[in-house]
Amino acid sequence: MNSHLTPGAGRYAPSPSGELHLGNLRTALIAWLFARGSGRRFLLRVEDLDRARDAGTADAQLADLSALGIDWDGEVVLQTTRAAAHEAAIAQLSSAGLVYECTCTRKDILAAPTAPHAPPGAYPGTCRDLTEAERAAARQRIAPRLPALRLRAPAGETGLGFDDLVLGHVVGDIDDLVLKRGDGTVAYNLAVVVDDAAMGVDQIVRGDDLASSTPRQILLQGLLGLPTPPKVSYAHVPLVLGPTGARLAKRDGAVTLRDLAAAGTSAGEVRAMLATSLGLAEPGESVTPDQLVERFDPAALPREPWVWGPASA
């Protein structure tokens, strides 16, 4: 580890569900620039908890990041190796009376009446206050499927705000979020909180589609006695959109490094393209990773999505 690095770290945490496209790569580059520009370590974590969505692309993703000039400190962390820490966090919450079993399906939740002003899809608390006899009957009813585990959100925690480096002040709704699914998979919101704290991550940069989940994670940080804002900073950055204005996807053509390479666009040219979209390079200018760090100013980061199309390449 370099001696000039300041305490704390930034990170990028992809799911190995497919190849990284330009939107993923742009977010990774921004996260790297935030970390390197502030003298932090930059860490990588492969979020491979959801085995059903694991397409085995982790190695290819790491190779693509390296090809763009994105380096990282230490070993890559596989989230599946963190199971003991996740279970310990659930046990800690349970010992505080903050965990209960839930047998509701998604259909049940959508069909149930919700509290006034509750956001669409918010958990209505159906299983929150069941008696032990009622819980036993519910378990029997769904067998062999197992109940999920939910957080009993403290009274009054219906919304929580935080200051985002890109979005400004954000307030999000909080309900009794899932901590562990019935199939045994630990929920993203819990795992990301536990793992970021364990890795020393205090700067979280990710797509703005995840901003709405951040208040839930901040609540969990507090309940688990982990660092919360302002000791942890958040920057939710604009996504990349496809030619139709929808979120960029593989259906939009050559959007991965492999596809772009097949079309004659090198990784260096992709880096330059992404840099131009961030206002860090002139169109067609070749830039090195070190030059991007020198030019990067978080305050000047574009606040609007980048619309990508063949003309952008």
Residue stretches of the annotated binding site for ATP: 250
Task: Give the pairing type, strands 201-207 and 9-12.
Answer: parallel
> Which residues line the annotated binding site?
11-15, 47, 102, 104, 123, 127, 188, 206, 250
Residue in the structure block whose two tokens are 């819990």: 190
Cα radius of gyration (the chain): 21
> Which residues line the annotated binding site for Zn(2+)?
102, 104, 123, 127
Written as six digits, the tokens of 127 are 């299983």
Residue in the structure block whose two tokens are 């790491």: 62
Sign of CA dihedral 34, 211, 207, 244: negative
Gap between the Cα atoms of 22 and 285, Å rounded: 18
Count other Cβ atoms within 10 Å, centred on residue 297: 10
Gap between the Cα atoms of 116 and 312, Å rounded: 45
> Which residues line the annotated binding site for L-glutamate?
11-15, 47, 188, 206
Residue in the structure block whose two tokens are 């067998």: 143
**206 within 8 A of 166, measured Cβ to Cβ:** no
CA angle 195, 197, 198 (to 5 degrees): 65
